[in-house]
Amino acid sequence: MFNASMPTSPGSMVNQCKFEEDEESDSKDIFITVDNPESHVTAIETFITYRVLTKTTRSEFDNSEYEVRRRYQDFLWLKGKLEDAHSTLIVHPLPEKFVVKGMVERFNGDFIETRRKALHKFLNRVADHPILSCSEDFKVFLSAQAWELTTYKKQGPGFLSRMGETVRAVANSVRGVKNRPEEFTAIQEYVEDFSNKIGSLDKVTQRIVKEQKEYLEELKEYGPTYTLWSGSEEELAEQLKGVAGCIERCCKETEEQVGHLSDTLVPVLHEYVLCAETLKAVLRRRDNIQAEFEAKNEALATKKVDRDALKEEIDKLEDRVEWANNALKGDWGRWQRSMRGDLKSAFLSTAEKNVDYYEKCLAVWETFLLSQRTEPSEETDRDNTP
Amino acid sequence: MLSVSCLSALLLHTVCCLYIRFIFWLEILFIVAAPFSPSQIPLYTKCITRLKVILIFYILQGRTLILKDLKSHESLYLVCITQLERRMADAGNKESAPIGGDEFTNTELENNKNNTMVEEGSTLLRRMEISVAEAEKRTGKNTVNMQEIFTVYLIETRPIDAITEGHNPAPDSLWRRYSEFEILRNYLLVTYPFIVVPPLPEKRAEFVWHKLSADNMDPDFVERRRVGLENFLLRVASHSVLSNDKILYHFLTEEHRWKEVVHETGFQAKADSRIKALSATFRVKNPDKRFTEMKLYSDELQSLTSQLLRVRARVADRLYGVYKVHGNYGRVFSEWSALEKEMGDGLQSAGHHMDAYAASVDDMLEEEEHYADQLKEYLFYAEALRAVCRKHELTQYELETASSDLISKKQQREELATGMVRTFSFKGMTNKLFGQETPEQREAKLSLLEEQIVQGEETVTEKTVECEEYVKGAWVDMQRFKEQKDRDLREALIGYAVMQISMCKKGIQVWTNAKDCFHKM
Which of A193, A204, A231 is closest, CB to CB, to B325?
Answer: A204
How many angstroms separate the CA atoms of B457 and B462, rounded?
8
Which of B318, B332, B487 is closest, CB to CB, to A215?
Answer: B318
Which of chain A's residues have a Cβ under 8 Å away from the Cβ of B300? 232
User: Helix (H, G, I), strand (E, B), or coil: what is residue B414?
Assistant: helix
- Cα distances (Å, whole numbers) of residue A262 to A112, A198, B10, B94, B335: 14, 16, 33, 53, 24
Residue-wise pLDDT tens digits, B165-191:
666 777 788 889 899 999 999 999 999
Residue-wise pLDDT tens digits, A279-315:
999 998 888 888 888 887 877 777 666 777 778 888 8
Q: Where residue B324 falls among pLDDT bands split at 50, 70, 90?
A: very high
Rg (CA), chain B: 31
Q: Are the CB atoms for B27 and A228 separated by under 8 Å?
A: no
Q: Are the CB atoms for B81 and B51 separated by under 8 Å?
A: yes
Exposure string for B428-443, b = 16+ CB within 10 A, e = fewer: eeeeeeeeeeeeeeee
Q: Which positions ≥6 away from B70 have C-beta within 8 Å?
A: B58, B59, B61
Work out whether strand A65-71 and strand A46-56 pair parallel, antiparallel, or are unpaired.
antiparallel
Q: Where are the alpha helices (DSSP H) in B254-288?
A: 258-264, 267-270, 274-283
How many angstroms separate the CA atoms of B106 and B108, rounded?
5
How many C-beta neighbours within 10 Å does residue A266 have?
19
Q: How far is A148 from chain B (nearest CA, A)?
A: 46
Instruction: Work out the average pLDDT over B222-233.
Output: 91
Burial of residue A287 (number of CB atoms within 10 Å: 0-12, 13-18, 19+): buried
Residue-wise pLDDT tens digits, B253-281:
888 888 888 888 888 888 888 888 888 88
How many angstroms separate the CA atoms of A228 and B308, rounded?
10
Are the beta carbons of B329 and A234 separated by less than 8 Å?
Answer: no
Which of chain B's residues have a Cβ under 8 Å away from the Cβ of A354? 507, 511, 514
| A residues 192-231 lying closer than 8 A (beta carbon) to B | 193-194, 197, 200-201, 204, 207-208, 211-212, 214-215, 217-219, 221-222, 224-231
Partnered with residue A68 across adjacent β-strands are A52
Q: Does A189 touch chain B (CB under 8 A)?
A: no
User: Helix (H, G, I), strand (E, B), or coil: what is residue B238?
Assistant: coil
Q: How far is A253 from chain B (nearest CA, A)?
A: 12
The residue with greater pLDDT, B211 or B150, is: B150
Residue-wise pLDDT tens digits, A2-27:
444 444 444 444 444 444 444 444 56
The proportion of chain B whose per-residue pLDDT surpasses 90, expressed as a percent, equals: 38
Q: Are the CB atoms for B170 and B189 separated by under 8 Å?
A: no
How many angstroms separate the CA atoms of A158 and B514, rounded?
54
Where are any strands of DSSP class E within B25-85? none
- Best of B241, B325, B482 to disrupt the A interface (most A CBs within 10 Å) is B325
How many C-beta neighbours within 10 Å does residue B305 have?
21
Instruction: Work out the average pLDDT over A31-51.
Output: 87
| A residues 241-280 lying closer than 8 A (beta carbon) to B | 242-243, 246
Q: How far is A28 from chain B (nearest CA, A)?
A: 25
Q: Helix-strand-coil percent breakdown of chain B, rounded to 5?
A: 75, 5, 20
- Best of A191, A279, A365 to disrupt the B interface (most B CBs within 10 Å) is A365
Residue-wise pLDDT tens digits, B123-151:
777 777 788 877 788 887 777 888 888 88
Widest Cα–Cα separation across chain A: 111
- Best of A205, A218, A248, A352 to disrupt the B interface (most B CBs within 10 Å) is A218
The residue with greater pLDDT, B57 or A43, is: A43
Instruction: Work out the average pLDDT over A83-98.
Output: 85
How many angstroms separate the CA atoms of B187 and B128, rounded?
22
Q: Order across the sheet with B147-159: list the strands.
A: B128-141, B147-159, B172-177
Residue-wise pLDDT tens digits, A138-189:
888 888 887 888 888 777 665 555 666 666 666 666 667 777 888 888 999 9
Q: Are the CB atoms for B323 and B358 separated by under 8 Å?
A: yes
Which of chain A's residues have a Cβ under 8 Å away from the Cβ of B305? 229
Q: Helix-strand-coil percent breakdown of chain A, rounded to 5?
A: 70, 10, 25
How many angstroms separate the CA atoms of B324 and B359, rounded?
7
- Best of B99, B320, B340, B502 to disrupt the A interface (most A CBs within 10 Å) is B340
pTM value is: 0.78
Burial of residue A376 (number of CB atoms within 10 Å: 0-12, 13-18, 19+): exposed
How many angstroms separate the CA atoms of B179 and B168, rounded?
32
Widest Cα–Cα separation across chain B: 121
Note the pLDDT of residue B54: 63
Residue-wise pLDDT tens digits, B68-111:
454 556 666 667 767 777 766 766 655 433 333 333 334 443 44
C-alpha dihedral sign at B450, B453, B458, B461: negative
Which of chain B's residues have a Cβ under 8 Å away from the Cβ of A335? none
Which of A218, A234, A381 is closest, CB to CB, to B315?
Answer: A218
Which of chain A's residues have a Cβ under 8 Å away from the Cβ of B476? none
Where are any strands of DSSP class E within B234-338? none
The residue with greater pLDDT, A301 or B32, is: A301
How many angstroms separate the CA atoms of B186 and B197, rounded?
9
Q: Does A366 touch chain B (CB under 8 A)?
A: yes
Which of chain A's residues have a Cβ under 8 Å away from the Cβ of B505? 358, 362
The residue with greater pLDDT, B39 or A70, is: A70
Q: Where residue A363 falls among pLDDT bands split at 50, 70, 90?
A: very high
Are the beta carbons of B328 and A359 separated by less than 8 Å?
Answer: no
* Residue of chain B nearest A209, judged by CA positions: B322
How many angstroms separate the CA atoms of B252 and B232, rounded?
12
Which of chain B's residues have a Cβ under 8 Å away from the Cβ of A348? 515, 518-519
Q: Where residue B222 falls among pLDDT bands split at 50, 70, 90?
A: confident
Q: Which positions ≥6 away from B398 have C-beta within 8 Å?
A: B280, B463
State the virtual CA torsion across B303, B309, B315, B318 in degrees, nearest 10: -120
Are the beta carbons of A200 and B332 separated by less than 8 Å?
Answer: yes
